[in-house]
Amino acid sequence: MSRFDRYFLMKEKDIPDFVREKVAGFFYETGEDAAFSVKEIGDGNVNYVFRIEDSGGKSLIVKQAGEQLRISPDFNISTDRNRIESEMLILQNKYAPGLVPKIYRYDTVLCACIMEDLSDYRLMRHALIEHKIFPHFAEDITTYLVNTTLPTTDVVMDHKEKKALVKTFINPDLCEITEYLVLTEPYNDVKKRNIIIEENAGFVRRELYEDKKLHLKIVELKFGFMNNAQALIHGDLHTGSIFVKEKAENGLAATRIFDPEFAFFGPIGYDLGNVIANLFFAWDNGRVWGDGAFCAWITETAASVIDLFKEKFLSAFEETAADVMAKTEAFAKAYLDSIIADTAAYTGTELIRRTVGMAPVKDLTAIDDEKVRARVSRLNIIAGKRFIFERYNDNGQGNIRNGKDFTGLFLNSVKKAGL
Ligand code: SR1
Ligand code: MG
């Protein structure tokens, strides 16, 4: 019998015994007398994260899923998310070695995993708020996106194997959060949880709550999110789910992607669009502080992310496509074009939801002057709507096709917002 045979929410004092029992041998000393320091370091919306270090400097992270979210007792979400996150990281370490943290053990009783400590990296969102730049980011994130998604599509994976994997990654509670917070509430405030700056109340009502044409686009995107089991995606790929360093060191990548607890089989463009929108939030912040060099790096990077993704995706498609029909001439390009059109639309939904929804980003909340924040919010809403409406032209062809199209649309919206 062990006290870890039943679920309970762990505190700092429980962590040494937990790692002693689950990963005996990792630390230099694990006996009763071994001196550990433990700190709860979680600052996300959802889980509890502990860092444990022994006297010799070896360290690990223990992440546990609570039965309620940290930010709100209104959400009761399945603790199975910790298994999903762990299995996702184990799988992704095979597809994109070194770009995600290693999982040493996961425990389905405590709903906790024990993983590699990446405290020598910085959370990308925090570093971007200080206007730091990361030269490896576009290369690394596009390698991650292509190498983790394409192999899990029906283009490459055996179809029965894929269906079995879809089952493993059914994630109803976390998907429901996205279905509401991203793809419903910003357009009607149905749960009265939106956070709107007073000055923008009329603007938000007109532009988001009363725009019926927009609602039609959003419901299509919502059902696309729920029904297009295209590939195994991260599901919450914002800059708070990414660790960065300026350079790769000791053979370790400069970028590490973590926290895939929202993982499920969904549209690839959802992940890519989230990355682009979150780069634009960093641009917003840079603009308010007048940091032109930083803003230029952000737009160059956002454009490179799109262009490198396309280049790598097409070449990996040609090399690895296994489905005989997928090899039909011109299909690879059509498939990629639809991912890029989805990307534009989900760039738009992320820009809008983080601006008016209940989970705002620090890049924006750090702007103290409410009048300025109101203008930046209008920019995100204007640009967000344009990404949604303009992704196809009148003939149904993709209209926002390359990196310059993405950044051009965003920068063209700046004047309209009075910034
Ligand atoms: C209720 S959880 C709020 C948000 O935090 C997560 O990171 C997801 O983005 C979710 O929408
Ligand atoms: Mg998260």
Q: Indicate whether residue 417 lines ligand 1 (CB < 6 A).
A: no
Q: Could you list the residue range(s) of the whole structural domain that residue 371 is in?
A: 122-417
Domain boundary among 116, 149, 166: 116
- CA-182 nearest atom, ligand 1: 11
Backbone phi, psi, residue 138, to 5°: -60, -40
Q: What is the pLDDT of residues 224-240, one digit of tens each?
A: 999 999 999 999 999 99
Domain CATH number, residue 357: 3.90.1200.10
User: Would you state the pLDDT for residue 74?
Assistant: 75
Q: Residue 204's closest CA among 193, 212, 196?
A: 196
Q: What letter represents residue 143's amino acid?
A: T
Q: What is the pLDDT of residues 75-88, one digit of tens each?
A: 789 999 999 999 99
Q: What is the pLDDT of residues 126-146, one digit of tens each?
A: 999 999 999 999 999 999 999
Q: Please give the structure tokens belonging to residue 173.
A: 């509670």
Q: Does the pLDDT of residue 286 top 80, yes or no?
A: yes
DSSP E strands, 8-47: 36-40
What mean pLDDT is reported for the chain?
96
Q: What is the pLDDT of residues 147-169, one digit of tens each?
A: 999 999 999 999 999 999 999 99
Domain boundary among 82, 116, 150: 116
Q: What is the pLDDT of residues 231-278, one digit of tens each?
A: 999 999 999 999 999 999 988 999 999 999 999 999 999 999 999 999
Which residue has a Cα nearest atom 6 of ligand 1?
45
Which residue has a Cα nearest atom 5 of ligand 1?
45
392: buried, middle or exposed (CB in 10 Å: 19+, 13-18, 0-12)? middle
199: buried, middle or exposed (CB in 10 Å: 19+, 13-18, 0-12)? middle
Domain CATH number, residue 34: 3.30.200.20
Same domain, 165 and 90: no
CB 241 within 8 A of CB 274: no
**Which three-class secondary structure state does DSSP give residue 120?**
coil
Q: How far is the CA of 156 from the centre of ligand 1 (A)?
A: 31
Count of domains in the chain?
Answer: 2
> Rounded CA gap, 132 and 109, in Å?
40
> Rounded CA gap, 258 and 42, in Å?
13
Q: Please give the structure tokens belonging to residue 256.
A: 């590490």
Q: Does the pLDDT of residue 36 top 80, yes or no?
A: yes
Q: Does the pLDDT of residue 34 top 80, yes or no?
A: no
Same domain, 278 and 215: yes
Q: What is the pLDDT of residues 101-117, one digit of tens each?
A: 999 999 999 999 999 99
